[in-house]
Amino acid sequence: MKKSGYRSRTVKEELRANLIARIQAKKPLFEGIHGYEDTVVPALERAILAGHSINLLGLRGQAKTRMARSLVQLLDEWVPIVEGSEINDDPLAPISRFAKELIVAKGDATPIGWLHRDQRYSEKLATPDVTVADLIGDSDPIKASNLKLDYSDERVIQFGLIPRSHRGIFVINELPDLQPRIQVALFNILQEGDVQIRGFKLRLPLDIQFVFTANPEDYTNRGAIITPLKDRIQSQILTHYPPSIELGMRITRQEVRTPKEQATRVRVPELIRVLIERIALEARASEFVDRKSGVSARLTISALESVISAAERRALRNGEEHTVVRIGDLQAVVPAITGKIELVYEGEQEGPEKVAYHLLGLAIRNVFSELFPDPAKTRKRSGSEKSPQKQRPDPYADIVTYFDGAQTDLLSDAPGVEHDKALQQVPGLIALVRQQHAYLEAWETPVWCEFVLHGLAEHSRVGRSMLLGKVTFSDLFDSVLSRSVEEEDDDDRPIDR
**pLDDT tens-digit profile of 241-261?**
998 999 999 999 999 999 999
Report pLDDT for 142: 72
More confident residue, 20 or 483: 20
How many contiguous H segments (helices) and E segments (strands) does the chain have? Answer: 23, 16
List 196's β-bridge partners, or say none: 203
What DSSP assignment string belongs to 270-319?
Answer: HHHHHHHHHHHHHHHH-TTB-TTT---THHHHHHHHHHHHHHHHHHHHHT
Please provide the CATH number assigned to the domain covering 244-371. 1.10.8.80
Q: pLDDT for 284-293, tens place per residue?
A: 999 999 988 8
Q: What b-and-e string marks burial along 236-259, b requiring 16 or more CB atoms within 10 Å of the CB?
A: bbebebbeebeebbbbbeebbebe
More confident residue, 314 or 127: 314
Lowest mean pLDDT segment, chosen from 73-77, 213-217, 366-370: 213-217
CA dihedral sign, ordered 21, 26, 30, 35:
positive
Q: Are 485 and 459 in contact (CB under 8 A)?
A: no
Instruction: Judge whether residue 479 has pLDDT over 60.
Output: no
Q: With 90 as the cut, is the pLDDT of residue 387 above it?
A: no
Q: What are the C-alpha distances in Å from 89 to residues 100, 115, 138, 335, 495? A: 9, 11, 19, 50, 68
d(CA 479, CA 110): 84
Q: How confident is the model at residue 424 (pLDDT cuts 50, 70, 90)?
A: very high
Q: Domain 11-238 maps to which CATH number in 3.40.50.2000, 3.30.470.20, 3.40.50.300, 1.10.10.10?
A: 3.40.50.300
pLDDT over threshold 50, residue 492: no
Q: Measuring CA to CA, which residue among 359, 356, 328, 362 is closest to residue 450?
A: 328
Within a 10 A sphere around the Cβ of 496, how many other Cβ atoms?
4
Contact predicate 183/144, CB 8 Å: no
Asked whether the predicted pLDDT for residue 121 surpasses 70, the reply is: yes
Q: What is the pLDDT of residues 133-162, one digit of tens each?
A: 889 887 777 776 777 766 666 777 788 899
Residue 376 has pLDDT above 90, yes or no: no
Percent of the chain with pLDDT strictly greater than 70? 89
Evaluate if residue 309 carries a pLDDT over 50: yes
Give the pLDDT of residue 278: 96
472: Cβ–Cβ under 8 A, 6 or more apart, which residues? 407, 408, 409, 410, 464, 465, 466, 479
- Selected residue with higher pLDDT from 485 and 188: 188
Q: Which residues contact 481 (CB under 8 A, 6 or more apart)?
A: none
pTM of the complete model: 0.83
d(CA 212, CA 354): 37
What is the pLDDT at residue 491? Answer: 45
For residue 409, report the phi and psi dihedrals to the nearest 5 degrees.
-105, 125
Domain layout of the chain by residue ranges: 11-238, 244-371, 391-497
CB 80 within 8 A of CB 6: yes
Confidence class for position 496, pLDDT limits 50, 70, 90? very low
pLDDT tens per residue across span 167-198: 999 999 999 888 888 898 888 888 777 777 76
Q: Are 276 and 307 in contact (CB under 8 A)?
A: yes
174: CB partners within 8 A, 6+ apart: 125, 126, 213, 214, 215
The candidate with the shortest Cα–Cα distance to 300, out of 267, 338, 271, 333, is 333
